Amino acid sequence: MLPDLPFKSPPLPLPRIIATLLVAVTITCSALAGEFNPTRNIGDVVPAWSGLPGTDGRKHSWEDLADTDAVVVVFTCNDCPYAVDYEERINDLAIHYAGQGERVAVVAINSNQAKSESLEAIQERARARDFRFPYLIDASQELSRTFGALRTPEFFVLDGSRRIVYMGAMDDDTQESLVRHRHVADALEAVLAGRPVELSETAPVGCLIKTARRRDAR
């Protein structure tokens, strides 16, 4: 009589191994990224930044926002027609919350790699449009990669713990006269009231952020 031997499963065929690995990678990536964002998900804590030049001649850092209850970060630029169309709306948002005395900060970041997006160019733009919010240069594009931002304009609302509670478009229509739902403002009101954000992610609408690779390929 043969002795009992420990049972060993037969080895999986290579195609099945590959398929299993692909499923695992897909599940992992889905857990890390949102529906429309390749990098970030709702609830992620955004890493701090420092030393970003602003149109006011200062270097800006995360510490500047320490006393705020909510932060709106918008990736924008000078040239994209969508970004230009939203400039007044972004300015109005900053003015509204400054006037309400709420501890809300609005910060615009330019990550585009183009001559028309230089610090001097955005300084001129900020003066011409009387921006009431910090407008910063992300020359290394590290911040846009950190946020997973791909378009201009693209918005992120952060709560007091600097967790992402909303990301995507500012509202539901690029034409202001047709706007019915103001996603960013609704998210801010929820944060300030201590309520959950009902709609936490939408698809951003705008121009692709110009990277060095895309620019060189043209």
User: What is the per-residue pLDDT for 47?
Assistant: 87
Res. 145: pLDDT tops 60: yes
pLDDT in tens, 48-99: 899 999 999 999 999 999 889 999 999 999 999 999 999 999 999 999 999 8
Residue identified by tokens 């990098």 is 39
Distance of CA 124 to the CA centre of its chain: 24
How far apart, in whole angstroms, are the C-alpha atoms of residue 92 and residue 83? Answer: 14
User: What is the per-residue pLDDT for 32?
Assistant: 56
Q: Which domains does the chain show, CATH number per domain?
A: 42-217 (3.40.30.10)
pTM (global) more than 0.85: no
How far apart, in whole angstroms, are the C-alpha atoms of residue 100 and residue 200? Answer: 24
Coil, helix or strand at residue 115? helix
User: What is the per-residue pLDDT for 213?
Assistant: 58
pLDDT in tens, 6-45: 444 455 555 444 333 333 333 333 345 689 999 999 999 9
